[in-house]
Amino acid sequence: MKKSTICILAFIVLSLGSAIAQKNITLENIWLDGTFSARGISEIRSMNDGEHYCILTRTGIEKYAYKTGLKVEDVCLFNNPQMSKKAKPMPIIESYMFNNNETQILLSSEFEPIYRHSGVSNYYIYDVANKTFELISQNGKQRLTTFSPDGTMVAFVRDNNIYIMDLQTKEEKQITFDGKFNSIINGTMDWVYEEEFGITQGFYWSPDSKKIAYYRFDESKVKEYNMQMWGGLYPDDNKFKYPKAGETNSTVDILIYDLATQQTKQLDEGSENDQYIPRIKWTKDANTLALMRMNRWQNKMELLLADANSGTMSTIYIEEDKAYIDVPDTWMFLNDGKHFLITSEKDGYNHIYMYDLNGNMVTQITTGNYDVVKINGIDEKGKKIYYTSKESSPINSDLYVINLNGKKKTKLSEKDGYTNASFSNGCQYYISNFTDANTPPIYTIHNSKGKQLVMLQDNASLAQTMKAYGKERKTFGSFTTSEGVELNYYIIKPATFDSTKRYPLFFYVYGGPGSQQVTNRYAGSDYYWQRMLAQKGYIVVCVDGRGTGGRGAEFKKVTYKELGKYECIDVIEAAKYFGKQRWVDESRIGIFGWSFGGYLSSLAILKGNNVFKTAIAVAPVTTWRYYNTIYTERFLRRPQENTSGYDNNSPINFAEQLKGNYLIIHGTGDDNVHYQNALDMISALQKAGKEFDMHFYPNKNHSIYGGNTRWHLYRLMTNFIEEKL
């Protein structure tokens, strides 16, 4: 036998062996077995010296050196008998915080959720030198427990009131007294601020530990939403304040409590009560508090400085927009006490600006036709900013360094994908978390010039597992619509893809304002589900239509006052574009989305009933009249002002146009997108005489998880796809 023949046979044998070794992805792999679980690094905290960092593990808080990545010591070992004179077992620790001189650690455990981002916990103080810990309060769980800057006290919220505790005497002192459920909130947020402004912390220590500035919400006039929780002989009624679009919001005040005088001063935020204060923070001056104020339309934002002693206010920054203004990703005061940084889209893209405290712009630090993602670190001594941006592509996020004067920009990340960076105190080092669409997280330590010093975690084992479970991978592309708009997409094809065959097409959508799904980063569980569908013979596609982020303000804000219109046009046109490809069966196009994606998938099968055969909508908004004030009015204004904007693109109004297969899924305990959306959609479909499928998860919230729930949900959807598409 010739040598060439032997080589060919060997190649065939190896290829067959490789093919035989390939495994099919199952729902159990994804949701029950942890087959594709990535390893991470939890709760990274840089130490004061800038040379070390700590992480949280199951057994304790461990200290490492940036330069070597080697463990220096165990700062705190949980359940170590030395930690407590009584040797009482420690509960599972969920987060930690050092005091300013790193002599004590605040530990939280036994978290009980209130809403999606808030809850109560037990808090412990751990003494680093003595290796002892004790429960902070015997009077029940608290919220948001925080060290004072001098480390002698903590403050926390309990039952809508603020308390201060002296850590030596352990005396609890209540400083607000009018807190009342569904009426008055002190020191934390109401539901809509928490959900839409992304904050729960509602009190802040002054830099000298002598004052506390805090929010007070009067939500007594906000209407209640009633959500029943099932399981007992009689269901429990869960009533909470939820302002729907056009309805009354909470009245919000900012107050400052003086620990020495025990007096409280209310700041004058202006004569207009129907407004928002999405952020407050102390400047570097212990007597100057900064406030961010927005009108209800959210198209005007002001930054104000308040004298904590006199209460006088001055405006240092005003920004207005013809559409709306997102709360800035960055708003920080520099240690020089003279300047602040802010991100803004006012030149058409999200960029970093420096202002002085008199409101004069010093410089626009970043410029160009790309969006800055966020500021990752500031080296004031070296006069440098480290930030991530989408300069290379809207689908990437790259790390850069630039001088504070906007000069000498250098790209530090080397690979296309998504880089996030956690910087050391002083910015001499950073821990990079890199992924791309088909690469699980890689954690590395770098110096400030970008040189890699240490490989911390490469998830090599998971990468090998990925190879063993098929060759289906995401690839990226773009197409131009009939309106001349270029849209980005990713696609996952079966590993056995044959361009002469025709495949069913399955769209995944989200599409909400400023969101992005078409990104070159690792997407976790949904990524494997989509690969699983590809293994079953489906082509999976995701398109970011108009209104999504990463491509500047004009692309994002084109949907203003007509939320859903252009998003639906683009996803229907995308389906038509792919339907024309010779390898797509245009009679078998399906679509799935969750939340805003559920809204868009519902709208698409109704307005695109000649294009989509099947749609799945999980927790969808079916009419924007049912959603909250801050989010909905930001994009549509109030329904009293923009009736057509609300009704012309709400699925509930187009039920009679359903032709294909429609599955609606909702959790009955969804405090965000209420179950009411699904029920009224069902009523509209029934009234129109339409056939459809539905499934509900008792007591599950907007995320629909817990126990086997996610596995059950994805099995339900997979079966529906295989049956109906």
Report DSSP state, residue 657. Answer: G
Q: Confirm whether 358 is domain-assigned.
A: no
**Domain holding 94: CATH number?**
2.120.10.60
Among 141, 166, 193, the domain-final residue is 141
Among 122, 141, 160, the domain-final residue is 141
Among 116, 141, 166, the domain-final residue is 141
Among 644, 654, 665, smallest CA distance to 720 is for 665
- Gap between the Cα atoms of 33 and 28, Å rounded: 6
- Gap between the Cα atoms of 710 and 702, Å rounded: 12
pLDDT score recorded for residue 8 = 45
Exposure string of 365-393, with b = 16+ CB inside 10 Å and e = fewer, is bbeeebbbbebbbbbeeeebbbbbbbbee
pLDDT score recorded for residue 132 = 87
Q: Which residue has the higher pLDDT, 214 or 133?
A: 214
- Mean pLDDT in residue range 642-650: 96
Above pLDDT 90, what percent of the chain? Answer: 91
**pLDDT tens track for 237-256:** 999 999 999 999 999 999 99
Chain mean position to CA 628: 18
Mean pLDDT of the chain: 94
Identity of residue 91:
P
Least confident of 71-80, 350-359, 378-387: 71-80
Q: 559 is in which domain, residue-wise?
A: 469-506+536-724
Q: Confirm whether 709 is domain-assigned.
A: yes
pLDDT score recorded for residue 79 = 66
| pLDDT at residue 518 tops 50 | yes
Q: With DSSP H G I counted as helix, E B as strand and the rest as coil, what are the percentages for the chain, rounded to 5?
A: 20, 35, 45
- Gap between the Cα atoms of 145 and 140, Å rounded: 12
pLDDT score recorded for residue 82 = 52
Least confident of 75-89, 130-144, 536-550: 75-89
Is residue 713 helix, strand or coil?
helix
| pLDDT at residue 277 tops 60 | yes
pLDDT score recorded for residue 14 = 43
Tokens of residue 676, six digits: 């009411």
How distant, in Å, are the alpha carbons of 41, 72, 153, 257, 441 from that of 95? Answer: 13, 20, 19, 28, 21
Q: What is the pTM of this model?
A: 0.94
- Mean pLDDT in residue range 47-65: 95
**pLDDT tens track for 589-600:** 999 999 999 999
In which band, very low, low, confident or very high, does the pLDDT at 80 lie, cut at 50, 70 and 90?
low
Considering Cα of 391, then 474, then 420, then 343, what sign does the dihedral take? positive
Q: Confirm whether 521 is domain-assigned.
A: no
**pLDDT tens track for 457-474:** 999 999 999 999 999 999
Q: Confirm whether 218 is domain-assigned.
A: no
**pLDDT tens track for 3-42:** 444 444 444 444 444 445 689 999 999 999 999 999 999 8
- Mean pLDDT in residue range 137-144: 94
pLDDT score recorded for residue 658 = 98
**pLDDT tens track for 148-198:** 999 999 999 999 999 999 999 999 999 999 999 999 999 999 999 999 999
Is residue 231 helix, strand or coil?
coil
Q: Confirm whether 101 is domain-assigned.
A: yes
| pLDDT at residue 89 tops 80 | no
- Gap between the Cα atoms of 358 and 343, Å rounded: 18
Q: Confirm whether 625 is domain-assigned.
A: yes
pLDDT score recorded for residue 272 = 82
Is residue 724 within 8 Å of residue 614, measured between CB atoms? yes
Q: Confirm whether 90 is domain-assigned.
A: yes
Q: Confirm whether 269 is domain-assigned.
A: no
In which band, very low, low, confident or very high, does the pLDDT at 1 lie, cut at 50, 70 and 90?
very low
pLDDT score recorded for residue 380 = 95
pLDDT score recorded for residue 5 = 46
Report DSSP state, residue 88. Answer: P
- Mean pLDDT in residue range 644-650: 96
**Domain holding 665: CATH number?**
3.40.50.1820
| pLDDT at residue 394 tops 90 | yes
- Gap between the Cα atoms of 78 and 722, Å rounded: 48
**pLDDT tens track for 441-459:** 999 999 999 999 999 999 9
Query: With left for phi above 0 and alpha for psi between -120 and 50, is residue 248 left, alpha or beta?
Result: beta
In which band, very low, low, confident or very high, does the pLDDT at 649 lie, cut at 50, 70 and 90?
very high
Domain count, the chain: 2
- Gap between the Cα atoms of 605 and 658, Å rounded: 7
Residue 617 pairs in a beta bridge with 593, 664
Is residue 623 within 8 Å of residue 652, measured between CB atoms? yes
Chain mean position to CA 629: 19
Is residue 573 within 8 Å of residue 490, measured between CB atoms? no
